Amino acid sequence: MRYVLLLLISLNFAYGAKVVEVGERFEDSKKCKSCHLRVVNEWEESWHSKSHYENDEYFKASIDYVSQKTRKSLNGVKVQCATCHNSRISVTSTGSDYEIASIMGLAKGSKVDKAVNSDNISEGVNCVVCHNIDKIHNEYDDSKLGINRVEWTESGAMTGPYKDAFSPYHKTISHEFMNEKPNDLCFVCHANDRSVKGLVFSDMKNEYQDEKKSCVECHMGPQRKGIAASYRTNEGKTVERMVRSHGFAGAHIDSLWKGALKLELSQKDDNVLIEISNPQAHNIPSGFGSREIVVDVVSKNGDAVLETKSISLTRYYTRRNGKPTIAHLAEEESKDLSIPANGKKILKVPTLHGTTAVEVTLSYRLVNDEVISLLKLKDLIWSEKKYIAKESLKVKSSF
């Protein structure tokens, strides 16, 4: 009876979106190094390369937390998150049949089990994710992300920005989203993420306010002359092109934050006004929920510190009965305190009696204290402050 039930369940698993198998030659990015050494070396240091359950503490802890709170199988949650994090996974959705099989201990060796443990996805967002996309469906509803928003090329066909690119090892295809419209490619995943309750907690695509500036200008750096592929032409030369970094600098990079926001201080009556301006094309904080801007305010009388206070600009999320949770499980969220793209926010801080000067420091944190506690994150990278700007103001007392 057990084996009959296993057979019936295995025949009824739902596997979702159409999958194009990745050929064995292209599964491992190290095989790309012979021609694309610079690109692969840069990618290996990026967080795209760590976009996997085993390689990212925050991602792993989030999956474990969602599985625990929803009582959904760990592999079922992994498949759900693989939509963007491991989007060349061979199984793209699971149904109630799989969950029943998992509870009964009948899922071992199933297609789902093999898919989430496949070497094919162990590198996270690697070469054959971005460079195998053949078509992006911008006409789809914003709720469709990652694998559900694209069509793949045939295995071994690589897409890129150069119309004259040639390789003896794979077919090359040029698409405008690799050159003229790179934001379309970024927004396949970095767009409008939703919780299991349908709450949009990442709205970067809709908040983006600069049609002339593309994501890659900040996150892949300026174009410079270099070698995209070391393959030599018939004349024995490599082709020099305008290239960008594949390190995909993000919120975890300290240097990206210095001067990212503008800070101005002024006094009005007995208040210090803290004006924070955002010249960037998207809101800050943005991206995943619970990122944080910290405004540290130090009131002084001469060299003596009278008071130190911190103002947090972040989002908090709740489930049923108002219980704190992470963004992916949220039913409700607190007020949006982010600084809008090309906009500003003004904070008013009362001055203490005897204050002669105020110092304000802006910093950024990847995760706020509440989520660090919920997920039991250990790595200091999640809580450390990344310096943005600092200003001081002499205060005139009217007391």
pLDDT digits (tens, 9 = 90+) for 74-111: 999 999 999 999 999 999 888 888 888 888 888 888 99
**Domain ranges, residue 183:** 2-210
310 confidence band (pLDDT: 50, 70, 90): very high
- Please, which residues have CB within 8 angstroms of residue 3's CB and are 6 or more apart in sequence? none
In a domain, 292, yes or no: yes
293 shares a domain with 166: no
Which helix (H) or strand (E) segment is 8 a member of? Answer: helix 2-12
In a domain, 42, yes or no: yes
pLDDT at 70 over 90: yes
Percent of the chain past pLDDT 90, that is, above it, reads 73
In a domain, 227, yes or no: no
The last residue of one of the domains, among 210, 236, 270, is: 210
Average pLDDT over residues 333-346: 95
In a domain, 224, yes or no: no
In a domain, 218, yes or no: no
The last residue of one of the domains, among 182, 210, 238, is: 210
Side chain identity at 397, as an amino acid letter? S
pLDDT at 8 over 50: no
17 confidence band (pLDDT: 50, 70, 90): low
186 shares a domain with 41: yes
Side chain identity at 127, as an amino acid letter? C
Report the range of poorest mean pLDDT among 52-56, 108-112, 215-219: 108-112
* DSSP tag of 119: G
pLDDT at 11 over 70: no
Average pLDDT over residues 269-292: 93
17 shares a domain with 141: yes
Question: How many independent structural domains does the chain possess?
Answer: 2
pLDDT at 9 over 60: no
106 shares a domain with 7: yes
The tens digit of pLDDT for each residue in 112-133 reads 999 999 888 899 999 999 999 9
275 shares a domain with 191: no
pTM above 0.85, yes or no: yes
135 shares a domain with 265: no
194 shares a domain with 307: no
In a domain, 144, yes or no: yes
CA distance 240 to 227: 5
In a domain, 230, yes or no: no
269 shares a domain with 200: no
Average pLDDT over residues 197-212: 89
What CATH number does residue 302 fall under? 2.60.40.10
What's the pLDDT score for residue 4?
41
344 shares a domain with 276: yes
83 shares a domain with 166: yes
Beta bridge partners of 390: 361
Average pLDDT over residues 316-338: 95
The last residue of one of the domains, among 210, 228, 246, is: 210
140 shares a domain with 266: no
pLDDT at 12 over 50: no
Instruction: Please give the distance of CA 89 from its chain centroid, rounded to a whole number.
Output: 18
What's the pLDDT score for residue 7?
43
67-98 burial by CB neighbour count: b if 16+ within 10 A, else e? bebeebbebbbbbbbbbbbbbbbbbbbbeebb
195 shares a domain with 269: no
In a domain, 282, yes or no: yes
Helix and strand element counts for the chain (H, E):
11, 18
